[in-house]
Chains A and B, each alone.
Chain A
Amino acid sequence: MSATKILHINTMAELMAKGEQAEILFWVGCAGSFDDRAKKITKAVAAILDQVGIRFAVLGTEESCTGDPAKRAGNEFLFQMQAMQNIQVMNMYEVKKIVTACPHCFNTLKNEYPGLGGDYEVVHHATLLQQLINEGRLRVADGGPFKGKRITFHDSCYLGRANGIYEAPRQLLEALDVELVEMKRSKTNGLCCGAGGAQMFKEAEKGTKEVNIERIEDALEVQPSVVAAACPFCMTMLSDGVKQKERENEIKVYDLAELIAQANGLID
Chain B
Amino acid sequence: MLSPILFVIIAAAGIGLFARKVGKIRRNIFLGQPLQRSDRTAARWATMARVAMGQSKMVTRPVAGFFHILIYVGFVLINLEVLEIILDGVSGNHRLFKPLLGDFYYFLISFFEVLGVGVILACIVFLWRRNVQPLARFKGPELTGWPRLDANLILLIELVLMSALFGMNIAEANMPEQGGYLVSNLLAPLFGGMSPEALHLTERICWWLHIIGIFAFLNYLPYSKHFHIILAFPNTWYAQLEPAGQFSNMESVKKEVELMMDPNANPYAATDPEATPARFGAKDVMDLPWKSLLDAYSCTECGRCTSVCPANQTGKLLSPRKVMMDTRDRLEEVGKNIDKNGSFIDDGKALLGDYITAEEALACTTCNACVEACPVLINPVSILTELRRYQAMEASQVPSEWALMFGNIENNGAPWQFPAADRLGWADNLEVKTSNPSA
Within 8 A of A (CB), among B355-374: 359, 362-369, 371-372
The answer to whether the Cβ of B318 comes within 8 Å of any Cβ in the partner chain is yes
What's the Cα separation between A198 and B404 when bound, in Å? 12
- Contact check, B244 vs A77: say whether CB atoms are below 8 A apart: no
- Contact check, A205 vs B362: say whether CB atoms are below 8 A apart: yes
- Contact check, B366 vs A196: say whether CB atoms are below 8 A apart: yes
The answer to whether the Cβ of B250 comes within 8 Å of any Cβ in the partner chain is yes
Interface residues on B, range: 35 or more
A80 surroundings in chain B (CB, below 8 A):
249-250, 253-254, 257
The answer to whether the Cβ of B311 comes within 8 Å of any Cβ in the partner chain is yes
Residue in contact with A208 in the complex, picked from B242, B315, B415, CB distance below 8 Å: B315
The verdict on A267 contacting B367 (CB below 8 Å), with A51-B438, A58-B427, A116-B254 known, is no
- Contact check, B367 vs A46: say whether CB atoms are below 8 A apart: no
The answer to whether the Cβ of B336 comes within 8 Å of any Cβ in the partner chain is no
- Contact check, A73 vs B402: say whether CB atoms are below 8 A apart: yes
- Contact check, A76 vs B393: say whether CB atoms are below 8 A apart: yes
- Contact check, B426 vs A264: say whether CB atoms are below 8 A apart: no
**Quick one: which of B308, B366, B410, B414 has the most chain A CB within 10 A?**
B366
- Contact check, B249 vs A112: say whether CB atoms are below 8 A apart: yes
At the interface with chain B, which of A17-25, A60-68, A170-178, A248-256? A60-68
At the interface with chain B, which of A4-12, A90-98, A219-227, A239-247? A4-12
Residue in contact with A198 in the complex, picked from B258, B405, B433, CB distance below 8 Å: B405
The answer to whether the Cβ of B274 comes within 8 Å of any Cβ in the partner chain is no
The answer to whether the Cβ of B193 comes within 8 Å of any Cβ in the partner chain is no
B310 surroundings in chain A (CB, below 8 A):
191-192, 194, 211, 214-215
CB closest residue in chain A, given B243: A163
Residue in contact with B434 in the complex, picked from A5, A202, A214, CB distance below 8 Å: A5
Q: B384-421 CB contact bits vs A (8 Å, 1 = yes)?
A: 01011111110000110110111001100111101011
What's the Cα separation between A1 and B366 when bound, in Å? 47
A138 surroundings in chain B (CB, below 8 A):
438
The answer to whether the Cβ of B279 comes within 8 Å of any Cβ in the partner chain is no
- Contact check, B318 vs A205: say whether CB atoms are below 8 A apart: yes
What's the Cα separation between A209 and B414 when bound, in Å? 29
The answer to whether the Cβ of A69 comes within 8 Å of any Cβ in the partner chain is yes
Question: Nearest chain B CB to A190's CB is how many angstroms away?
Answer: 8
Interface residue tally for chain A (C-beta within 8 Å) = 94
Question: Nearest chain A CB to B85's CB is how many angstroms away?
Answer: 42
What's the Cα separation between A265 and B433 when bound, in Å? 7
A28 surroundings in chain B (CB, below 8 A):
423, 426
- Contact check, A196 vs B424: say whether CB atoms are below 8 A apart: no
Question: Nearest chain B CB to A206's CB is how many angstroms away?
Answer: 7
Question: Nearest chain A CB to B403's CB is how many angstroms away?
Answer: 10
The answer to whether the Cβ of B271 comes within 8 Å of any Cβ in the partner chain is no
What's the Cα separation between A108 and B317 when bound, in Å? 28
- Contact check, B402 vs A72: say whether CB atoms are below 8 A apart: no
Question: Nearest chain A CB to B357's CB is how many angstroms away?
Answer: 10
What's the Cα separation between A63 and B413 when bound, in Å? 8
Question: Nearest chain B CB to A220's CB is how many angstroms away?
Answer: 16
What's the Cα separation between A190 and B369 when bound, in Å? 8
- Contact check, A191 vs B430: say whether CB atoms are below 8 A apart: no
The answer to whether the Cβ of A47 comes within 8 Å of any Cβ in the partner chain is yes
A71 surroundings in chain B (CB, below 8 A):
247
What's the Cα separation between A214 and B53 when bound, in Å? 36
What's the Cα separation between A7 and B432 when bound, in Å? 7
The verdict on A74 contacting B281 (CB below 8 Å), with A163-B245, A205-B311, A207-B316 known, is yes
Q: Which 7 A-B pairs have the closest CB atoms?
A: A162-B245, A208-B315, A74-B388, A64-B413, A197-B366, A74-B392, A207-B315
Interface residues of B (CB under 8 A from A): 242-247, 249-250, 253-254, 256-258, 260-261, 280-281, 308, 310-311, 313-318, 359, 362-369, 371-372, 385, 387-393, 398-399, 401-402, 404-406, 409-410, 413-416, 418, 420-427, 429-438
Interface residues of A (CB under 8 A from B): 1-9, 11, 28, 30, 32-35, 39, 42-43, 46-47, 50-51, 58, 60-61, 63-65, 67, 69-78, 80-82, 84-85, 107, 111-112, 115-116, 138-140, 142-144, 157-158, 161-164, 188-192, 194-211, 213-215, 263-268
21 intermolecular pairs with C-beta atoms under 8 Å apart: A2-B433, A5-B431, A7-B430, A33-B422, A51-B436, A58-B424, A74-B281, A76-B249, A107-B246, A111-B245, A112-B247, A161-B244, A189-B369, A192-B310, A192-B369, A196-B366, A196-B367, A206-B317, A215-B310, A266-B436, A267-B433
